[in-house]
């Protein structure tokens, strides 16, 4: 991850999954687009919704709610796909709605509380309190199933 600016200030995109708020670093976000029906992939984990056509690129869609163990998202008109770059790959994250763009400094970030489930802790880098809300910072690196890189 690129740490921008010396003060440790960073911009984050906040979004909602169910009643909870999460965010990702804006640097990794390529674009945000409306939900489109995905073509399911056979033999894939349940949180991989399938693939969509992003202007000619085949883009896998990860249902972030399912990935975090909250159960599958039922897409609505407000559902969006946040396209993020993870390493050299593009991945679409299906979330319920984008809520905000935040500018925060690193010192706001608190370590993930101990009681969080193992699954959630694998993807949550930390939590922060912003204007009375609690927002968890998602580490996008691990959202895709681990593929053999050898292929």
Partner 1 sequence: MDAMAEIRATFFEECAEQLAELEAGLLAIESGEADADTVNAVFRAVHSIKGGAGAFNLDDLVHFAHVFETTLDELRSNRLEATLDVVRVMLRAADVLADLVTVARDGGSVDAVRTRGLVEELKALVGGKKDAPAAAPAASDDGPIFAPMVGDGMDGLDFVPVSVDLSDMMDGGESRYRIQFRPRAELYAKANESARLIRECLALGSGEVTCDTSAIPLLTDLDPEGAYLAWTIELASEAGEPAVREIFEFVEWDCDLSIDRILDASAMAADDGVDPEIAALLARLAGGADAAADEPAADAPMAEVVELKPAAAAAAPKPAPAAEAPAPRKAERAAAAAESGDAKAAAAGSAPAATIRVDLERVDRLIDLVGELVIHQVMLSQRVMQAGLARASDVAVGLDELEQLTREIQDSVMAIRAQPVKSVFQKLPRLVREVADITGKQVRLITEGEWTEVDKTVIERLSDPLTHMIRNAIDHGVERPEKRVAAGKGEEGTVRVAAMHRSGRIVIEISDDGAGINRQVVRKIAVDKGLIPADASLSDEETDNLIFLPGFSTKEEVSELSGRGVGMDVVKRSIQALGGRVSIASKPGEGSMFTMSLPLTLAVLDGMIVSAGDHTLVVPLTAIIETLKPKPAEVRGFGNDQRLIEVRGNFMPLVDVARQLGYREEPTDALSGVAILVEAENGARSALLVDGIQGQRQVVIKSLEANYGRVPGVAAATILGDGRVALIIDVDVVAATSRFEQNYFSSGLQAAE
Binding site for partner 1 (CB under 8 A): 37-44, 48, 50-53, 55-60, 89-91, 144-145, 147-148, 150-151
Nearest to 61 by CA among 87, 89, 88: 89
d(CA 113, CA 60): 30
Residue 86 or 109 having the CB closest to partner 1: 86
Q: Is 53 or 110 the residue whose CB approaches partner 1 more closely?
A: 53
- Shortest distance, CB of residue 82 to partner 1, whole angstroms? 14
Residue 41 beta carbon to partner 1: minimum distance, rounded to whole angstroms: 5
Burial class (CB in 10 A: 0-12, 13-18, 19+), 58: exposed
Q: Which of 80, 78, 43, 77 is nearest to 61 (CA)?
A: 80
**Least gap, CB of 90 to partner 1 (angstroms):** 5
């Amino acid at each position: 991850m690129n740490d921008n600016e010396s003060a440790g200030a960073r911009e984050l995109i906040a979004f909602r999954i169910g009643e909870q708020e999460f965010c990702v670093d804006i640097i990794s976000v390529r674009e945000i687009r409306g939900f489109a029906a995905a073509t399911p992939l056979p033999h894939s984990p349940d949180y991989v919704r399938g693939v969509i056509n992003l202007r000619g690129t085949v883009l896998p869609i990860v249902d972030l709610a399912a990935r975090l163990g909250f159960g599958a998202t039922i897409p609505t008109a407000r559902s969006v796909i946040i396209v993020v770059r993870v390493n050299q790959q593009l991945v679409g994250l299906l979330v319920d709605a984008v809520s905000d763009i935040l500018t925060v400094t690193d010192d706001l970030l608190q370590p993930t509380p101990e009681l969080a489930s193992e699954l959630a802790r694998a993807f949550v880098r930390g939590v922060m309190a912003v204007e009375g809300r609690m927002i968890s910072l998602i580490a996008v690196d691990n959202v895709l199933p681990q593929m053999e890189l050898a292929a």
